[in-house]
Structure 1
Amino acid sequence: MKIEPKDPLQASTQNSTETTQSRPTLRTVFLDRDGVINRKMPEGQYVTSWQHFDLLPGVPEAIARLNQAGLRVLVVTNQRGVALGLYTAADVDAMHTKLQRVLSVSDAHVDGFYFCPHDKHQCNCRKPLPGLFEQAKKQFPEIEPATSLVIGDSLSDIEFGHNLGLQTIFLEGDESHRQHQKPGASKAADLADRRFPSLPDAVDYLLA
């Protein structure tokens, strides 16, 4: 179910000068990974290899539409399983390389992947802390919070966006996904600027 936005975003320049000045044109979309791009594992379990990477329906096409609209698409993801010794940073990179290949079949791509391999309270890059945003801005200095948005399915994603001044979208997911949501999902849904069932639904709204 769609929630009407408090302040509609722009995916393209509007005719109204006042509207354009108050709501800068969207340039960058940050995507969480697990639960947004691929199906989230049950709480306490991790996507350790491509074998367990279950791409959600419509995601390649949704990302392709963002690409075609000229939006920068970046993935920001906490990967605590690396710190727990369940898989390596190289394994994460390999999954992202494979994801790019799969996306390319739909003429889609991700412009950058940024992940936190640390455990809790060990770094500045574990969402909701700002380190992954800072890494992205180092690679793309033109990124600004006012022209950026984050799409996620957990409280840490939405707090990450709010702490940085980004617009936020919460993904509710299907019934199976909701069974695996982290604690705080209800708070995240209330805190987010808007919420949608899936990434394709969110993209439909952004590009409408």
Structure 2
Amino acid sequence: MGNPNRKLIVLDRDGVINVDSDAYIKTPDEWIALPGSLEAIARLNHAGYRVAVATNQSGIGRGLFDMATLNAMHLKMHRAAAAVGARIDAVFFCPHTSEDHCECRKPKPGMLKMIAERFEIDPAHTPSVGDSLRDLQAAAALGFPTHLVRTGKGEKTLAAGNLPPGTKVHDDLRAFALDFLSEEHE
């Protein structure tokens, strides 16, 4: 499989890195980083981890925004990350709606499978962080250790239960980074 020495962390986007909205994040102006999230990515980078984002973006399939707008949102995210010394190595996204029955839309694991192949990593050594059950289900299907943050939909997800076995819960991405890096050094 992958190389356990290739250090990567997979993050969901909306509700983990940036503020989420039930009406979708449709413009760069609506893309607002959660407090401490980009600094958390910088901390992970400084510890030798690359970061890949795996995000369902059905707003494209629903016609709420186009690829140019998604690219502008991600440009804003990359620039905001760079401003605090953070780097996001890749953004994988699914543009489909659930009606498309694709393999990449979480909770299906297609997007995470693509990340594992592209980065040549071993899922068993690659934490995946999300705020919704489908993030965790997609990761657990391939054996990624699952981490739930309470930001975004996280509180609702936690209250609903049925998390994949072994899921660890963190207040936010900053707490995940601190917890994860302190465990790594034990």
Name the TM-score, length of structure 2 as normaliser.
0.87
Aligned partners of 1:34, 1:184: CA distance in 2, in Å? 17
Residue 33, structure 1, aligned to residue 7, structure 2: no
Aligned partners of 2:180, 2:158: CA distance in 1, in Å? 25
Conserved 8 A contact 2:103-2:109: yes
Alignment-mate amino acid for residue 207 of structure 1 = L
Residue 202, structure 1, aligned to residue 176, structure 2: yes
Conserved 8 A contact 1:26-1:149: no
Residue 152, structure 1, aligned to residue 130, structure 2: yes
The aligned counterpart of 2:109 is 130
Alignment-mate amino acid for residue 86 of structure 1 = L
**1:146-168 alpha-carbon deviations (Å, 9 max, x no partner):** 21111000000110111010000
Match of 1:193 among 164, 167, 171: 167
Q: What is the deviation of 1:184?
A: 7.6
Alignment-mate amino acid for residue 132 of structure 1 = M
Q: How many residues align?
A: 178
Residue 49, structure 1, aligned to residue 27, structure 2: yes
79-88 vs 125-134, greater mean Cα deviation:
125-134
- How large is the Cα RMSD of the aligned pairs? 2.1
Alignment-mate amino acid for residue 115 of structure 2 = A
Aligned partners of 1:151, 1:205: CA distance in 2, in Å? 13
Q: What is the deviation of 1:187?
A: 2.1
Instruction: Indicate the structure (1 or 2) with the bigger Cα radius of gyration.
Output: 1
Aligned partners of 1:181, 1:40: CA distance in 2, in Å? 13
Q: Percent identity over the alignment?
A: 38
Unaligned runs of 5+ in 1: 1-23
Conserved 8 A contact 2:58-2:97: yes
Conserved 8 A contact 1:161-1:168: yes
Conserved 8 A contact 1:170-1:192: no
Residue 73, structure 1, aligned to residue 51, structure 2: yes
Aligned partners of 1:135, 1:66: CA distance in 2, in Å? 22
Q: What is the deviation of 1:204?
A: 0.5
Equivalence map 1:78-157=2 (5 Å): 78-122=56-100, 123-140=102-119, 142-157=120-135
Q: What is the deviation of 1:192?
A: 5.2
Conserved 8 A contact 2:146-2:164: no
**1:85-113 alpha-carbon deviations (Å, 9 max, x no partner):** 00012211221111111111111010100
Distance 1:194 1:137, change over 3 A: closer
The aligned counterpart of 2:139 is 161
Aligned partners of 1:190, 1:147: CA distance in 2, in Å? 16
